[in-house]
Structure 1
Amino acid sequence: MLSEFKEHLAVNFPFFKESKLLVAVSGGVDSVVLVHLLKQLNYDVAIAHCNFGLRGEESDGDEKFIRSYASYNAINIFVTHFDTKTFAIDNKLSIQVAARQLRYIWFQELLEENSLDYLLTAHHLDDNIETFLINFSRGTGIEGLTGIPQRNGNIIRPLLPFTRENIERYASENSISWREDSSNASDKYLRNRLRHNIIPEIKELNPSFTDSFIQTINNLQQSASLVHDAAIVMYQQIVSEKEGQKHIDIGQLKRLPNFKAYLYQWLNPFGFTSWDDIYALVDAQSGKQIFSANYRLLKDRTVLILEPLKPSDRKVYEISEGLSQINESLIIKLELVDKISSESTKNVVFVNNNLIKFPLFVRKWKEGDYFCPTGMNGQKKKVSKFFKDEKMTLSEKEDTWILTSGNEIIWIIGRRADDRFKIRNTTDTILKIELL
Structure 2
Amino acid sequence: MLEKAAETIAKYNMAEKSESLLCCLSGGADSVALLLSLTELGYKVRACHINHQLRGEESDRDERFCVDLCGRLGVPIEVHRIDVHAYCAEHGVSVEQGARELRYGIFAECGCDKIATAHTLSDCIETAVFNLARGTGLTGLASVPPVRDNVIRPLIECSRAEIEAFLNERGQTWVTDSTNLTDEYTRNRIRHGIVPKLREINPSLEKTMAGTLENLREDNALIRRLTDELYERISRDGGLDAVELLSADRALSGRAIRRLLGENGAECSRETALRVRQLCEKGGRLTLGYGRYAALRNGLLVVEREREEIPDTELTAAIGGEICFLGKNIRLTLENDCIVQKKLTNFCADYDKIKGVIVIRNKRNGDRLRLCGRNFTSEVKKLLQAKFSPEERRRAVILCDSEGVIFVEGYGFAERVKADQTTKTVLLCKIS
- After TM superposition, the score normalised by the length of structure 1 is 0.68
Match of 1:365 in 2: none
**Which of 333, 347, 351 does residue 361 from structure 2 map onto?**
347
**Which of 265, 278, 284 does residue 280 from structure 1 map onto?**
278
**Which of 364, 385, 395 does residue 393 from structure 1 map onto?**
385
- Could you say if the C-alpha distance between residues 229 and 44 of structure 1 is closer, same or farther in structure 2, counting changes exceeding 3 Å? closer
Q: How does 1:31-430 map to 2 (within 5 A)?
A: 31-111=31-111, 116-237=112-233, 239-242=234-237, 245-246=238-239, 248-256=240-248, 258=250, 260-264=253-257, 266-267=259-260, 269-270=262-263, 271-272=265-266, 273=268, 274-286=272-284, 288-291=285-288, 297-306=294-303, 329-330=327-328, 347=361, 393=385, 395=388, 397-399=390-392
Q: Report the Cα distance in structure 1 between the residues aligned to 2:195 and 2:302, rounded to whole angstroms.
A: 44
- Could you say if the C-alpha distance between residues 108 and 194 of structure 1 is closer, same or farther in structure 2, counting changes exceeding 3 Å? same
Q: Report the Cα distance in structure 2 between the residues aligned to 1:345 and 1:205, rounded to whole angstroms.
A: 79
Q: Is the 8 A contact 1:187 1:193 kept in 2?
A: yes
Match of 1:3 in 2: 3
- Could you say if the C-alpha distance between residues 233 and 396 of structure 1 is closer, same or farther in structure 2, counting changes exceeding 3 Å? closer
Q: Is the 8 A contact 1:231 1:265 kept in 2?
A: no
- Could you say if the C-alpha distance between residues 230 and 4 of structure 1 is closer, same or farther in structure 2, counting changes exceeding 3 Å? closer
Q: Report the Cα distance in structure 2 between the residues aligned to 1:104 and 1:210, rounded to whole angstroms.
A: 28
Q: Report the Cα distance in structure 2 between the residues aligned to 1:121 and 1:262, rounded to whole angstroms.
A: 28
- Could you say if the C-alpha distance between residues 78 and 296 of structure 1 is closer, same or farther in structure 2, counting changes exceeding 3 Å? farther
The structural deviation recorded for 1:81 is 1.0
Deviates more, 1:297-306 or 1:178-187: 297-306
The structural deviation recorded for 1:256 is 3.6
Q: Report the Cα distance in structure 1 between the residues aligned to 2:289 and 2:385, rounded to whole angstroms.
A: 22
Q: Report the Cα distance in structure 2 between the residues aligned to 1:81 and 1:49, rounded to whole angstroms.
A: 9
The structural deviation recorded for 1:250 is 2.1
Q: Is the 8 A contact 2:25 2:49 kept in 1?
A: yes
SS in 1 for 2:110: helix
Match of 2:426 in 1: none
CA RMSD of aligned residues (A): 3.8
SS in 2 for 1:275: helix
The structural deviation recorded for 1:198 is 0.6
> What per-residue deviation string (whole Å, max 9, x for no partner) do you get for residues 373-407 of structure 1?
99xxxxxxxxxxxxxxx7773946423669xxxxx
The structural deviation recorded for 1:331 is 7.2
> What per-residue deviation string (whole Å, max 9, x for no partner) do you get for residues 246-271 of structure 1?
3x222233334527535446436525
Q: Is the 8 A contact 2:120 2:160 kept in 1?
A: yes
Match of 2:414 in 1: none
- Could you say if the C-alpha distance between residues 199 and 315 of structure 1 is closer, same or farther in structure 2, counting changes exceeding 3 Å? farther
Q: Is the 8 A contact 2:145 2:217 kept in 1?
A: no
The structure that has the greater radius of gyration is 2
Is structure 2 residue 13 aligned with structure 1 residue 29? Answer: no
SS in 2 for 1:221: helix
Identity of counterpart residues, as a percentage? 29
Q: Is the 8 A contact 1:48 1:78 kept in 2?
A: yes
The structural deviation recorded for 1:177 is 1.3
Q: Is the 8 A contact 1:53 1:83 kept in 2?
A: yes
Unaligned runs of at least 5 residues, structure 2: 312-322, 331-355, 366-380, 400-430
Q: Report the Cα distance in structure 2 between the residues aligned to 1:17 and 1:315, rounded to whole angstroms.
A: 57
- Could you say if the C-alpha distance between residues 268 and 31 of structure 1 is closer, same or farther in structure 2, counting changes exceeding 3 Å? farther
Q: Is the 8 A contact 2:130 2:187 kept in 1?
A: yes
Q: Is the 8 A contact 2:261 2:303 kept in 1?
A: no
Aligned residue identity for 1:53: Q
Deviates more, 1:140-149 or 1:102-111: 140-149
Alignment coverage as a number of residue pairs: 344
> What per-residue deviation string (whole Å, max 9, x for no partner) do you get for residues 164-212 of structure 1?
0111111122111111101111211111110010111111111122222
Unaligned runs of at least 5 residues, structure 1: 317-324, 333-341, 349-372, 375-389, 403-411, 416-435
Deviates more, 1:288-297 or 1:99-108: 288-297
